């Protein structure tokens, strides 16, 4: 069977194969992900991931940037939404649910005082993030609720944001 | 003075202007940032931020994807690095330090068991993130240490990752 005939086009065999490998050799589950960022002058920079096109970054003019690209806190919301999309696709396919359409609206509240140096001991980050998921799928409300619970409970970016993560930043 | 003649090309006047506005009207500091993600089939999706080109997302083949773009946890590292780059540029400029070059290597450890459904109550997210900053700047080691401390202490994405953030995900 070609992957294109799979439900939601998801290659569940690959996911199941990886899960099988992890059960045989648990260390396979320990992964390291990487990116390299290069400063391009002013508030512009770009993130290189493997051989893909760089992810460009800038700040709006009101924040001192030249507004040529999404800013880092917007990129973070994008990463969360993209992660949830993978989660819905994977878990829906595993449950035999066809997704007709899926879009995800994300919004985060952030107070700029600490970033601007006006509240040095404050929280520069998101105070909270709200996510509205618009899912049109061939399933009962109960199936959708179960699907939703599975996605929220297993989202790598969701868990990263909801938990305090040790971030070790060194000048080398 | 045109912005192009500013140190590190940073438009510090805009940042100072915003800080001044916040001191007059604190509510100006309360900002909301947004993104909308659309599922494109399989594990592909794209994040739309304002009018910029969509941020494409996919998963490696081994994880069931078609490997056409960075995956969400890589995008998250990119967002952190891009945020730190803004922080170095802003704080160096405010301190009168010229940056000759800046690159930032990021790596995060993530155990796939929870994402794969093998450890349902576990942590699907990053267990830790290491960041190596390569900064060539016209400054003493003491100035660089002070700069580094300011950047780490005021990074919106850094703080978001280091603190538990309430993430409210709803099916609407």
Instruction: State the Cα–Cα distance between residues B131 and B159, nearest whole angstrom.
Output: 14
Read off the DSSP letter of residue B103: E
| Res B2 pLDDT > 60 | no
User: pLDDT of B54-96, one tens digit each?
Assistant: 999 999 999 999 999 999 999 999 999 999 999 999 999 999 9
User: pLDDT of B90-114, one tens digit each?
Assistant: 999 999 999 999 999 999 999 999 9
Burial status of residue A170 (CB atoms within 10 A of its CB: 0-12, 13-18, 19 or more):
exposed
Residue A53 structure tokens: 């096109």
**Chain B residues lying within 8 Å of A124, measured CB to CB:** 153-156, 158-159
**Chain B residues lying within 8 Å of A156, measured CB to CB:** 72-73, 110, 115, 124-126
Instruction: State the Cα–Cα distance between residues B128 and B108, nearest whole angstrom.
Output: 6
Instruction: State the Cα–Cα distance between residues B71 and B64, nearest whole angstrom.
Output: 12
DSSP letters for B28-60: GGEEEEEEEEEE-STT-EEEE-TTSPPEEE---
**Chain A residues lying within 8 Å of B46, measured CB to CB:** 82
Give the rounded percent of residues in chain B with a pLDDT score beyond 70: 97
Predicted-complex ipTM score? 0.96
The pLDDT assigned to A93 comes to 96
- Asked if the C-beta of A146 comes within 8 angstroms of chain B's C-beta atoms, the answer is no
Q: Which domains does chain A have, with CATH numbers?
A: 7-162 (3.30.300.20)
| Res B4 pLDDT > 90 | no
User: pLDDT of B128-148, one tens digit each?
Assistant: 999 999 999 999 999 999 999
- Asked if the C-beta of A47 comes within 8 angstroms of chain B's C-beta atoms, the answer is yes
């Amino acid at each position: 069977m070609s992957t294109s005939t799979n439900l939601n086009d998801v290659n569940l065999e690959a996911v199941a194969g990886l899960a099988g490998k992890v059960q045989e050799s648990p260390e396979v589950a320990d992964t390291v992900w990487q990116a390299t960022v290069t400063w391009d002058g002013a508030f512009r920079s770009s993130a290189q991931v493997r051989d893909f096109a760089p992810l460009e970054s800038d700040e709006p003019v009101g924040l001192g940037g030249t507004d040529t690209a999404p800013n880092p806190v917007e990129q973070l919301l994008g990463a969360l939404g993209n992660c949830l999309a993978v989660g819905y696709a994977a878990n829906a396919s595993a449950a035999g649910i066809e997704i007709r359409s899926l879009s995800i609206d994300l919004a985060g509240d952030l107070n700029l005082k600490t970033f601007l140096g006006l509240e040095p001991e404050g929280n520069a980050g998101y105070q909270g993030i709200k996510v509205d998921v618009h899912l049109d799928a061939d399933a009962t409300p109960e199936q959708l609720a179960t699907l939703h619970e599975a996605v929220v409970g297993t989202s790598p970016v969701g868990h990263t944001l909801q938990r305090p993560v040790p971030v070790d930043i060194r000048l080398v």
